[in-house]
Amino acid sequence: MACQGRDSAVRFYAPLTEGKPELEREMPANALNFCAFSLAHLPSGGKEEALMALPNLSDSELIDIYAVPSLDRIGAAVNFVPRAKDGRTGLVMALHIAVLPGEEERIALLAAYEDGRVELWTCSLTALLARPKEWDGRKAADGLWTRVWEGKAHNEAVMAMAVDREFARAFTVSADHRVVRVDLAAALAGGEAIKAYSTQQIGNAALAVSGDGRILAVGGWDGKIRLFSAATLKPLGTLAYHRESVQALAWGSPEPAPQSRGTPTLGDSDSDSEDGGEADAGDPANWLASGAKDRRIALWNIDIAR
């Protein structure tokens, strides 16, 4: 388990079996730009290895890549592009790193910025891991990381970004009223890939795509969660519970969770609901968890077919 806070650190914990989680390792992080890390598991023959993308410690416009679990920095300022002073992007606001489906030797990195832009970078995984020392985009003469696409449809800073499991679509929201969809296949080909839709609500702070890629949940500053078709952005409904801005959204996994003998369970005293009611839990893949500034967490069972 990995977590990140505004205390300028990313911490890694051992799997929880009983008692308190055990801290294994930690690393410094840039907390000035409120950008969460992104983690991509590597196809490594059974080994638990991953790549982690984080904003650069000293320049919040740049992105660094770390190997996990060693926490060695293997790429610095990978998105560096020489710019005029009036061409700065502003802070990195959201990141997503992934191994491209069907292309285990290719890494993709999506970055969203304070100026409303989104960029897509790619890199050869073999070339990245074969480097004897870290690659620095500010100094290197070779183009290890390549920017294959960029687009902009927000007038304000990107507040959140979500990508589906198949790396087919990405979505962003901002302080404006728009949800922006990026067709990632078109973006990888360098073509026209971006389209904006109106939510009729100014100010959105959280996004999540369901595991089957069908439903997009958007958390607003007004405390409401709006559901859309991920394919067409057609409105599907609105969830109302939170009293303040929704800050976090997460869907349940369509895959069964691994079970272990030491997995803790909630006792009866831990399952009390504030509203005192119980509902059919349904398929975990339909679960949507939401957290808001009102310090409340809600769990929803979203079954559009029903």
Alpha-carbon dihedral angle through residues 302, 157, 60, 54, given to the nearest 10 degrees: 20
Q: What's residue 306's pLDDT?
A: 53
pLDDT score of 35 more than 60: yes
Residue 170: strand, helix, or coil? strand
DSSP state of 253: P
Are the CB atoms for 252 and 287 separated by under 8 Å?
yes
- Kindly report the pTM of this predicted structure: 0.87
- pLDDT tens digits along 187-240: 999 899 999 999 888 999 999 999 999 999 999 999 999 999 999 999 999 999
- Residue 40's H or E segment, with its range, is strand 38-41
Which residue reads 């890629």 in tokens? 213
101 — pLDDT class (breaks 50, 70, 90): confident
Q: Residue 290 is which amino acid?
A: S
CA angle 35, 133, 112 (to 5 degrees): 20
